[in-house]
Structure 1
Amino acid sequence: MSSLIAAGFAVEAADGRLSSLSADLRSVVDLGADAVELTLTSLDLIAGGRIIEEHVAPLLALTRQFDVTYTAHGLVSSNFMDPDTLPFQLQAAKALVELCDRIGARVLVQHGGFLRADQIHQRADAVDREREALHELCAYAARHGVRIALENIFSTAPGQYRQTPAEIAGTVKAVNHPALVALIDFSHAYLEATYRGLDFMAEIAAMAPVAGHLHVHDSFGRPKGFYEAFFPQEAVALGIGDLHLPLGWGDIAWERIFSELRFLPGTVLMMEIGERYRQEQPASLAFARQLMSLNAKA
């Protein structure tokens, strides 16, 4: 039996308004998705770590219209390694946990942290700082019935300090809290493996035993570097960067991955394939369900 319980798409408010998130949500539900990841921080729901209560009721009214499994994406700029912003990061993350509980989302995505190249003196304690913050957040999340999913991210600037996918797995194991799981973003892992000269399959295999959430979208694992494409379509033409392509457009070996790797029970397969590829979303959803079936036989 597969540990994968649902497949769906991440949605967001393109203009910061609930109406655009609503349109995106309705579209993916109409496609047949049985899970949706709400990008909560694309809306004005939190100010200085406090929930804006008058903005919550309309969100609740919207989410209650659909019988799907909800998960939530936290701050895209989340970073528990940076000592300067860590107090604010924790406040916002705890507010997001409360929002998750209220909308019935039982997973909150937290990005793995990083330090800039110039933050050399902060590196010695960076991993411990992140782990302590994660433990505090997980203790809070557990009281709300929410799991924190720690996502592997790829290097985005020269000299940046951040953990590899296998090291993210090590952090999850070291924190050792039932409310903490790893989140494998396969394209991120592919990009980082290429950039650092690592074995892609070995890196994601290290994460799989502690992975309770998946971000699935295609790419070619070619780091963008300093290249700036004039049109987004030009980056796709070159196959460079974190492209968030429909499944099958890149060269990630999905069948091999889902045949060989096993994940934690209750894991959701969440596709970060946005509105730009609405026409291709149905085929990606069908592909994702084939991967779930394949994983069930592994």
Structure 2
Amino acid sequence: MTEIPVGMSADVARSDVTDLAAELDRLERLDVDIVEIPLLSLDMIAHGRVLPGPLARLVEACAGRGIGYSVHAAIGLNFFSAPEHLPLHFDVLRASLDVAARIGARHLVMHTGFCSARAGDIEERFARQREWLARGAVEAAARDCVLCVENVPPTGGDMYTAAPSRLAREIAAIGDAHVRATLDVSHGYLYAGATGADAFAEVAAVAPHARHVHLHDSFGRPGDLFFAYTDAEKMHFGLGDLHLPLGWGAIPFERLMREATFDTGVVFMIELPERFACEAAATLAEARRLAALARAAS
């Protein structure tokens, strides 16, 4: 398999883009191959329209660097929403693709659909999501980009979202090279922890469809099992989507690399919060070790 690029998501404190250049400098010093830009945290799009001033600051911050880019779109972008809202969601998707194109990003990450677990029309929502993602694929192709749909865990007892294996089947059903998956390994284990599914089987089912893989550790234990006050306390008890440095949790990443089969052209992206910045170099080294073990689809 060709060497897998390994990168990190940028962590910005200011939504006006003014601290992004310094963050990219930090990530370049770590010698990453690619950076995920958190569009979801930036004041870049207003009602589906890209704002020229913030976009200019983003382009300036990203220009002239020896790294690649991907972009993470708004988490609220949701094709399980009510039908009357879907055109606006599509406008936000198209604007996000415009931003990605301006910085040469080859992947736009978005989450798979979510809704109330009490909704009586789940299959209709999947059908609408397939339709709108197929439309998105046309827009992505025009910008030399790939939509990478991410598996997410349910948060709270009233949330429904696709099992990772169902997401894999949905992407296969769309059958377009410009709609692939983002496999978030920890999210897959958290889904299994919340639902009783087979964690490894769920995650491995997505890997052949995944053009983008999010790497961060956890214990696959839902965050609402019992109360913990601070983020540090949640880590003490191993609760929730912790985004830990690799090796701090309990996910069997090495087994996944040895036994799963990954999409050709995949990139690995570490999502590590600023509070773990001291562990960034060690986590990057571990991610590169894991990437060297990964197997490609035939």
TM range (shorter): over 0.9
Greater shift, 129-138 or 51-60, is seen at 51-60
Counterparts of 1:187 and 1:74 in 2: how far apart (Å)?
19
Q: CA deviation digits over 1:224-265, x for unaligned, max 9?
A: 126443221000000010000000000111111111122111
- Give the equivalent residue in structure 2 for 1:87: 87
Asked if 1 retains the 8 angstrom alpha-carbon contact of 2:72 and 2:110, the reply is yes
Q: Match for residue 99 of structure 1?
A: 99
Q: CA deviation at 1:20?
A: 2.6
Q: What SS does structure 2 have at the residue aligned with 1:82?
A: coil
Q: Which has the higher contact order (CA 8 A, sep 6+)?
A: 1
Question: 1:86 & 1:171 partners in 2: Cα distance?
Answer: 18
CA contact (8 A) 1:12 1:20 kept: no
Query: Does structure 1 retain, via aligned residues, the 8 Å contact 2:180–2:209?
Result: yes
- Structure 1 length-normalised TM: 0.95
> Counterpart amino acid of 2:35?
V
- The alignment's C-alpha RMSD in Å is 1.7
Give 1:174's aligned residue. 173
Q: Are the aligned partners of 2:260 and 2:295 in contact in 1 as well (CA < 8 Å)?
A: no
- Residues 228 and 17 of structure 1: is their aligned pair in 2 closer, same or farther, counting only changes over 3 Å? farther
One-letter amino acid of the counterpart of residue 103, structure 1: I
Q: Is the 8 A contact 1:194 1:223 kept in 2?
A: yes
Q: In 1, distance between residues paired with 2:123 and 2:254?
A: 39
Amino acid at match of 1:206: A
Report the CA distance shift for 1:233/1:61 in structure 2 as closer, same or farther (over 3 A): same
Q: Which runs of 4+ in 1 moved over 4 A?
A: none
Worse overlay, 277-286 or 202-211:
202-211
Length-normalised TM-score, structure 2? 0.95
CA distance in 2 between counterparts of 1:198 and 1:296 reads 24
Residue equivalent to 1:40: 39
Q: Which moved more, 1:25-34 or 1:92-101?
A: 25-34
**Which SS does the other structure have where 1:17 is aligned?**
coil
Q: Which amino acid aligns with 2:43?
A: D
For 1:1-298, list aligned pairs within 5 A: 1-2=1-2, 5-83=4-82, 84-118=84-118, 120-225=119-224, 227-295=226-294
Distance 2:129 2:220 in 1: 27
User: Are the aligned partners of 2:168 and 2:209 in contact in 1 as well (CA < 8 Å)?
Assistant: yes
Does structure 2 retain, via aligned residues, the 8 Å contact 1:183–1:215? yes
